[in-house]
């Protein structure tokens, strides 16, 4: 095994000796899988992070006799223009591949250590590799959307994501094109690309629904199993096992036989009911198949939380109108102080902002504000305790208008390890410009104070003597009044109409909107002519139920026309 | 018990109720009567349609709009006639002090057997003037006046047509209700009457339409009516005996509720 400077030195010597950096012109058309030579079986050209030392190319000899590599030239192709091939490695006289064996050319960090250590400096797709043999045979492997045909054999293979390899599956595949022969794989330098027997949990396929279930409530863990092996997995041959681990230990969730037979390459969806006690869990799904040759892909896991997290959002300003920038008020709902720097804030996207700039831990039941622009917020609200105002960077700008699904955006709080604390999905419908959303009466509603109440709890309303109250009862033409309500339901649909003394409906100042049990909203007389009117306020529960209707008189002052 | 005595007792009870409700807030000169009729002094001032009879008469009226306690109207008016001329004057009050107003009304007109025409004027003043407000310092901000006319015609035997524009001109504080051109036709034969009405709001808004049927027998007249925008119905009953008549009507609005009207006339001309 070669390490560190030794491997780099060896690589340098090999490169110098082989004349790396120059490629000879090749006239023969590339083949996909040469009949008398070892073949390119796996390529890792894009490692996670810095590629240096991690890239490799694996050759496989599918035949029953050893084959030499002497004089074979490995060249990298730059797909951005024609004829741009650069030599990366040349086989020495002593290099050969045993019958059924593999030969890896790669960087010093590749494990197990390559037979030839070379810094390959391969490009991410669309690019190509080719292996030019002394007898004129050329094998080409192209990946990504290539423009020039010389860079691939038939259709190019897919361009893989960082950390994944491009693997010939099965190892001796020869289906007439790179696209058919190669697929995305888990890097396996020196090993078979496809085991005979390999059932795994498809990486990244696990999901918990709902994402943050209530403690003890029914939830579903879904995922996909994939038969990566070359043989059929019979029905009932494998066991699917689910567990949930917390600081207190691990508890079993489910265990059952996989009831379907899976042909090579097949995947199957699994959907398992479960219930979790309150808290943070690592939920794991594993598959156990006797004789499985690749245990590394047998399990996958998720960090999830049942019940509310320690930090929750209490007010969201997603469309500031006074230059204070967006901000989110949060509350420590746990019994212990929280370090806000150990949480992240994001929208529906993947960028997670880390709080900074505030001071001290957030005491239980205390409020803090995460701001897009801390200085601007403190300028707009100079009375705020600056120690509890934190900036968050990068700030994911919150959308102000809904998408086609009626959702504007989401505010997502996570712990530093990615465990979800809270996801608030909000709609901008019916939220007056500049008014934040606040959590009260069991829902997200326009803030009772239009300017917002950062670091203060929502304004508490006094109960009304009636279900509806419109004040003032006398207003000027074109003026505004406020409709307050106090309803027996947690959520209600409310509307307001104006009728004249003849009973004709003349205006509908408030179209039906969803509202909490208590609240108020401004309405405008608009272009309604001066006179005496009857307001008709209506409410119905969100769902089914009886209407509540109340009428009252309102006078709109103005001169006769 | 004789019917006349029964009516008298009912009338006395109604007067007693009005007396008890004296402090209640009021409005203009609405009355319990079928549309277009000129059955009382109150109705004359409200529509400008002069009554046929020349005898002096006194009328009082009460209305509760859509069951709202803050919207009640009380009105009192008298009418007198000499030969063809008719003159009426009245006073009314509507609504609680913060939204209501007081009004005085005058009407004059001429009547012939084949028709009549009259002018009406109503002046209003807010019941409550907030000290220091614009209304306190400027009369036009707290008071208003409207002038209009009405006319009816016996077009054929039993066929009566009428038109009224109660707000031909208005100034100062806007009137509580927009009342543009109102037209109607009534056909009566052997105590059975039918009528149609149309009121066209100003500003080109969609017109309202009404229809009704009334039945008269002896000193009793009962009617049922319907209107659109929105569709609604009402019923009324009027009873008269020598120097007294009393009428009550209720109209039900599908969303706003019931409007109830009572009218009492003394020595009035009951048509």
pLDDT of the residue at B204: 73
pLDDT of the residue at B5: 53
Residues of B in contact with A529 (CB under 8 A): 174, 178, 203
Q: Residue range A490-499: average pLDDT?
A: 93
pLDDT of the residue at A352: 94
Nearest to A465 by CA among A550, A408, A380: A550
A521 vs A484: CA distance, rounded Å:
7
pLDDT of the residue at B37: 60
Question: Euclidean distance between the first and final Cα of chain A, in Å?
Answer: 98
Q: Which residue of A has its CA nearest to B254?
A: A503
A237-272 burial string, b = 16+ CB within 10 Å, else e? bbebbbbbeeeeeeeebeeeebeeebebeeebebeb
Tens of pLDDT, residues A125-144 = 899 999 999 999 999 999 99
Contact A551 B65 (CB under 8 A): no
Residues of A in contact with B229 (CB under 8 A): 503-505
Share of chain B above pLDDT 90, in %: 63
A159 vs A98: CA distance, rounded Å:
30
Rg of chain B in Å (alpha carbons): 18
Picking from B95, B178, B208, the nearest residue to A553 by CB comes out as B95
Tens of pLDDT, residues A56-95 = 999 999 999 999 999 999 999 999 999 999 999 999 999 9
Contact A554 B171 (CB under 8 A): no
| B180 close contact with A: CB closer than 8 A | no
A184 vs A177: CA distance, rounded Å:
15
pLDDT of the residue at A498: 96
| A507 close contact with B: CB closer than 8 A | no
A472 vs A300: CA distance, rounded Å:
62
A521-560 residues touching B, CB cutoff 8 A: 529-532, 534, 536, 549, 551-555, 557-560
A77 vs B158: CA distance, rounded Å:
106
- Comparing A403 with A441, the larger pLDDT belongs to A403
pLDDT of the residue at B24: 27
Joined together, the tokens standing for residue A100 give 């059924």
Tens of pLDDT, residues A301-311 = 999 999 999 99
CA angle, A91 then A122 then A85, to 5°: 65
Picking from B68, B175, B199, the nearest residue to A534 by CB comes out as B68
Nearest to B240 by CA among B263, B210, B212: B263
| A502 close contact with B: CB closer than 8 A | yes
Joined together, the tokens standing for residue A343 give 């949480």
Residues of B in contact with A481 (CB under 8 A): none
Picking from B99, B140, B173, the nearest residue to A553 by CB comes out as B99
Contact A559 B140 (CB under 8 A): yes
Contact B173 A529 (CB under 8 A): no
Contact A501 B65 (CB under 8 A): yes
Contact B173 A500 (CB under 8 A): no
Share of chain A above pLDDT 70, in %: 95
Count Cβ atoms below 10 Å from residue A356 Cβ, excluding itself: 13
Nearest to B214 by CA among B231, B242, B189: B189
- Does A472 sit behind a cis peptide bond, omega within 30 degrees of 0 on the bond before it? yes
Residues of B in contact with A501 (CB under 8 A): 65, 176-177
Tens of pLDDT, residues A435-483 = 999 998 888 998 888 889 999 988 777 888 889 999 999 999 999 999 9
pLDDT of the residue at A442: 85
Picking from B68, B141, B176, the nearest residue to A552 by CB comes out as B68
pLDDT of the residue at B18: 32
Residues of B in contact with A560 (CB under 8 A): 144, 146, 170-175
Residues of A in contact with B67 (CB under 8 A): 551
Tokens 């009005």 locate to B18
Closest Cα of chain B to A533: distance in Å? 8
| Low-confidence spans in chain B with pLDDT less than 70 | 1-27, 36-39, 131, 133-137, 140, 268-271
pLDDT of the residue at B137: 67
Tens of pLDDT, residues A360-398 = 999 999 999 999 999 999 999 999 999 999 999 999 899
Strands A367-371 and A389-393: parallel
Tens of pLDDT, residues A199-254 = 999 988 999 999 999 999 999 999 999 998 889 999 999 999 999 999 999 999 99
Count Cβ atoms below 10 Å from residue A16 Cβ, excluding itself: 10
Determine the length of chain A: 561
Picking from B178, B201, B256, the nearest residue to A534 by CB comes out as B256
Closest Cα of chain B to A450: distance in Å? 28
Interface A-B: count of C-beta contacts within 8 A: 92
Contacts 24+ apart (CB under 8 A), A82-88: A82/A148, A82/A150, A83/A150, A85/A23, A85/A26, A85/A130, A86/A21, A86/A22, A86/A23, A87/A18, A87/A19, A87/A20, A87/A21, A87/A22, A87/A23, A88/A20, A88/A118, A88/A120, A88/A121, A88/A122
What is chain A's mean pLDDT, rounded?
Answer: 91
B194-233 residues touching A, CB cutoff 8 A: 199, 201-203, 208, 227, 229-230, 232
- Comparing B156 with A545, the larger pLDDT belongs to B156
Residues of B in contact with A554 (CB under 8 A): 99
ipTM metric: 0.87
| A466 close contact with B: CB closer than 8 A | no
Contact B172 A473 (CB under 8 A): no
DSSP codes, B176-240: SS----EEEEEEEETTEEEEEEEE--GGGPPPEEEEEEEEEETTEEEEEEEETTTTEEEEEEEEE
Residues of A in contact with B135 (CB under 8 A): 557
Indicate if the pLDDT at residue A16 is higher than 50. no
Residues of B in contact with A558 (CB under 8 A): 173-174
A21-46 burial string, b = 16+ CB within 10 Å, else e? eebeebeeebbbbbeebbbbbbbbbb
Q: Which of A469, A498, A501 to mutate to probe the B interface, most B CBs <10 Å?
A: A501
Residues of A in contact with B144 (CB under 8 A): 560
| A471 close contact with B: CB closer than 8 A | no
Residues of B in contact with A553 (CB under 8 A): 68, 70-71, 95-96, 99
pLDDT of the residue at A7: 42
The secondary structure of residue A280, as a DSSP letter, is E
Residues of B in contact with A495 (CB under 8 A): none
- Comparing A489 with B130, the larger pLDDT belongs to A489
Contact B174 A554 (CB under 8 A): no
């Amino acid at each position: 095994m070669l390490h560190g400077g030794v491997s780099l030195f060896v690589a340098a010597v090999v490169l110098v000796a082989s004349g790396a950096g120059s490629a000879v012109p090749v006239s023969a058309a590339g083949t996909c899988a040469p009949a008398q030579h070892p073949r390119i079986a796996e390529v890792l050209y894009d490692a996670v992070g810095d590629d240096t030392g991690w890239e490799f190319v694996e050759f496989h000899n599918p035949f029953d006799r050893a084959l030499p590599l002497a004089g074979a030239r490995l060249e990298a192709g730059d797909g951005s223009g024609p004829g741009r091939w650069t030599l990366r490695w040349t086989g020495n006289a002593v290099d050969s591949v045993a019958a059924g064996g593999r030969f890896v050319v790669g960087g010093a960090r590749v494990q197990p250590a390559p037979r030839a250590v070379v810094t390959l400096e391969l490009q991410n797709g669309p690019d190509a590799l080719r292996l030019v043999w002394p007898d004129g045979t050329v094998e080409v492997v192209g990946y990504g959307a290539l423009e020039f045909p010389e860079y691939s054999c038939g259709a190019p293979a897919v361009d893989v994501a960082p950390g994944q390899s491009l693997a010939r599956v099965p190892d001796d595949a020869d289906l007439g094109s790179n696209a058919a022969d190669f697929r995305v794989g888990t890097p396996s330098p020196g090993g078979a690309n496809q085991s005979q027997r390999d059932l795994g949990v498809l990486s990244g396929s696990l999901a918990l629904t709902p994402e943050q279930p209530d403690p003890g409530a029914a939830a579903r863990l879904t995922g996909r199993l994939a038969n990566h092996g070359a043989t059929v997995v019979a029905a009932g041959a494998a066991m699917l096992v689910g567990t949930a681990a917390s600081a207190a230990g691990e508890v079993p969730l489910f265990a059952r036989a996989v009831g379907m037979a899976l042909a090579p390459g097949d995947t199957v969806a699994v959907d398992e009911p479960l219930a979790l006690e309150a808290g943070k869990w690592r939920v794991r799904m594993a598959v156990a198949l006797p004789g499985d040759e690749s245990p590394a892909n047998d399990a996958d896991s998720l960090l999830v939380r049942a019940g509310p997290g320690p930090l929750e959002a209490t007010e969201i300003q997603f469309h500031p109108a006074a230059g204070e920038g967006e901000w989110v008020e949060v509350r420590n709902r746990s019994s212990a102080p929280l370090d806000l720097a150990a949480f992240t804030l994001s929208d529906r996207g993947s960028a997670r902002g880390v709080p900074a700039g505030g001071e001290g831990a957030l005491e239980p039941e205390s409020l803090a504000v995460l701001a897009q622009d801390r200085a601007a917020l403190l300028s707009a609200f100079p009375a705020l305790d600056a120690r509890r105002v934190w900036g968050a960077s990068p700030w994911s700008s919150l959308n102000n208008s809904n998408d086609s699904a009626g959702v504007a955006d989401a505010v997502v709080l996570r712990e530093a390890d990615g465990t979800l604390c809270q996801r608030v999905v909000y709609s901008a419908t019916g939220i007056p410009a500049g008014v934040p959303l606040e959590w009260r009466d069991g829902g997200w509603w326009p803030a009772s104070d239009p300017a917002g109440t950062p670091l203060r709890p929502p304004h508490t309303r006094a109960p009304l003597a009636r279900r509806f109250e419109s004040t003032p009862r006398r207003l000027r033409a074109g003026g505004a009044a406020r409709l307050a309500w106090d309803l027996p339901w947690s959520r209600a649909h409310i509307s307001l109409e104006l009728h004249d003394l003849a009973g004709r409906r003349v205006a509908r100042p408030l179209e039906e909107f969803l509202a909490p049990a208590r609240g108020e909203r401004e309405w405008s007389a608009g272009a309604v002519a001066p006179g005496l009117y009857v307001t008709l306020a209506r409410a119905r529960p969100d769902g089914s139920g009886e209407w509540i209707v109340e009428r009252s008189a309102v006078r709109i002052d103005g001169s006769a026309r | 018990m004789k019917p006349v005595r029964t009516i008298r007792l009912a009338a006395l009870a109604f007067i007693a109720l009005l007396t008890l409700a004296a402090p209640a807030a009021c409005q203009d000169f609405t009355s319990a009567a079928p549309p277009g009729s000129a059955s009382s002094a109150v109705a004359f001032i409200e529509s400008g349609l002069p009554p046929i009879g020349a005898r002096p008469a006194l009328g009082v009226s009460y209305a509760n709009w859509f069951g709202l306690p803050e919207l009640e109207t009380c009105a009192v008016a008298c009418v007198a006639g000499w030969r063809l001329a008719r003159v009426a004057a009245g006073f009314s009050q509507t609504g609680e002090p913060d939204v209501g107003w007081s009004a005085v009304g005058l009407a004059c007109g001429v009547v012939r057997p084949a028709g009549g025409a009259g002018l009406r004027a109503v002046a209003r003043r807010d019941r409550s003037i907030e000290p220091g407000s614009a209304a306190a310092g400027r009369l036009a901000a707290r008071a208003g006046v409207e002038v209009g006319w009405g006319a009816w015609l016996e077009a054929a035997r039993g066929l009566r047509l009428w038109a009224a524009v109660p707000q031909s001109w208005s100034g100062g504080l806007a009137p509580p209700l927009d009342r543009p051109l109102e037209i109607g036709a009534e056909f009566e034969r052997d105590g059975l009457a039918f009528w149609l009405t149309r009121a066209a709001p100003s500003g080109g808004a969609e017109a309202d339409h009404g229809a009704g049927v009334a039945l008269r027998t002896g000193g009793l007249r009962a009617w049922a009516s319907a209107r659109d925008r929105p569709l609604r119905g009402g019923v009324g009953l009027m009873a008269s005996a020598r120097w007294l008549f009393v009428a009550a009507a209720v109209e039900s609005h599908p969303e706003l509720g019931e409007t109830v009207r009572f009218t009492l006339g003394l020595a009035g001309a009951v048509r």
